């Protein structure tokens, strides 16, 4: 049976869906319970949702190409899905903070700094140590929430590398060899054009 699925289009579609879900989650949280944004719960929930989407999309794409794909065949569609989802959220966050809700960067920095200071004090750090750490944290947050163009490009590049490493891991986990060594790969997998 010949599969006519275009895995490149599937990867793009999956990345767009995943990115859109992340943006909706962000907007709902920001407008309904903004204090949750700086919590470990929000980070944990976002991480678990991300893992669930990654697993679902990997299994779904493998199934759509016939149930079998090599590491090489799996890597690029997985990476495209991952990096597109991340890229959408990355660009959206910058646009959101600059044009949609300019109070977002300052409010987020304030929430994160307050939580960071409380955490450092709970560890028993001296006021001088807390002050130095808070200064560094403030600089990092400034780059994160109001990056220059160069900082945004570097941040995106670093994130893309991290997502590529994630794609490598997922491709290793979700590759599946065809038990029929005489099967014609073109019958089960087409990359499309």
DSSP-derived secondary structure for the chain: ------HHHHHHHHHHHHHHHHHHHHHHHHHH-GGGGGSHHHHHHHHHHHHHHHHHHHHHHHHHTTS-B-HHHHHHHHHHHHHHHHHHHHHHHHHIIIII-THHHHHHHHHHHHHHHHHHHHTT--HHHHHHHHHHHHHHHHHHHS--HHHHHHHHHHHHHHHHHHHHHHHHHH-B--S-TT--HHHH-----
pLDDT for the residue numbered 75? 97
What sign does the dihedral 159-164-168-171 (CA atoms) show? Answer: positive
Tokens 């289009």 map to which residue? 9
Instruction: Tell me whether residue 144 is in a domain.
Output: yes
- Could you tell me what percent of the chain has a pLDDT over 70? 92
Instruction: Tell me whether residue 1 is in a domain.
Output: no
pLDDT for the residue numbered 67? 93
**CB-CB neighbours of 37 under 10 Å:** 17
Instruction: Tell me whether residue 17 is in a domain.
Output: yes
Instruction: Tell me whether residue 173 is in a domain.
Output: yes
Indicate if the pLDDT at residue 192 is higher than 80. Answer: no
Shortest CA distance to 39 belongs to which of 115, 139, 113? 115
Q: 189: alpha, beta or left, given left = phi > 0 and alpha = psi -120 to 50?
A: beta
Distance CA 24, CA 1 (A): 39
- Could you tell me what percent of the chain has a pLDDT over 90? 69
pLDDT for the residue numbered 183? 61
Tokens 């944290």 map to which residue? 137
Instruction: Tell me whether residue 46 is in a domain.
Output: yes
Q: What is the mean pLDDT of the chain?
A: 90
Instruction: Tell me whether residue 43 is in a domain.
Output: yes
Domain count, the chain: 1
Indicate if the pLDDT at residue 1 is higher than 70. Answer: no
List pLDDT tens digits, range 21-50.
999 999 999 999 999 998 889 999 999 999
Q: How far is CA 108 from the centre of its chain?
A: 19
Indicate if the pLDDT at residue 185 is higher than 80. Answer: no
Instruction: Tell me whether residue 81 is in a domain.
Output: yes
pLDDT for the residue numbered 191? 53
pLDDT for the residue numbered 188? 47
List pLDDT tens digits, range 111-168.
999 988 888 888 988 889 989 999 999 888 888 888 899 999 999 999 999 999 999 9
The average pLDDT across 74-96 equals: 96
Domain of residue 67 covers 7-188
Instruction: Tell me whether residue 33 is in a domain.
Output: yes
């Amino acid at each position: 049976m010949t599969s006519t699925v275009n895995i490149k289009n599937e990867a793009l579609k999956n990345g767009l869906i995943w990115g859109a879900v992340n943006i909706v989650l962000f907007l709902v949280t920001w407008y309904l319970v903004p204090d949750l944004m700086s919590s470990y719960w929000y980070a944990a929930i976002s991480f678990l949702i991300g893992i669930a989407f990654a697993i679902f999309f990997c299994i779904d794409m493998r199934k759509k190409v016939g149930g079998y794909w090599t590491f090489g065949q799996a890597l690029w569609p997985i990476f495209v899905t991952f990096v597109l989802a991340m890229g959408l959220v990355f660009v959206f966050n910058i646009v959101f903070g600059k044009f949609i809700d300019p109070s977002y960067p300052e409010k987020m920095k304030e929430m994160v700094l307050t939580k960071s200071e409380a955490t450092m004090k709970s560890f028993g750090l001296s006021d001088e140590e807390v002050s130095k750490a808070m200064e560094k944290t403030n600089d990092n947050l400034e780059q994160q929430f109001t990056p220059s163009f160069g900082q945004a490009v570097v941040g995106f590049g670093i994130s893309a590398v991290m997502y590529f490493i994630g794609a490598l891991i997922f491709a290793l986990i979700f590759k599946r060899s065809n038990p029929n060594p005489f099967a014609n790969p073109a019958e089960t997998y087409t990359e499309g054009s």
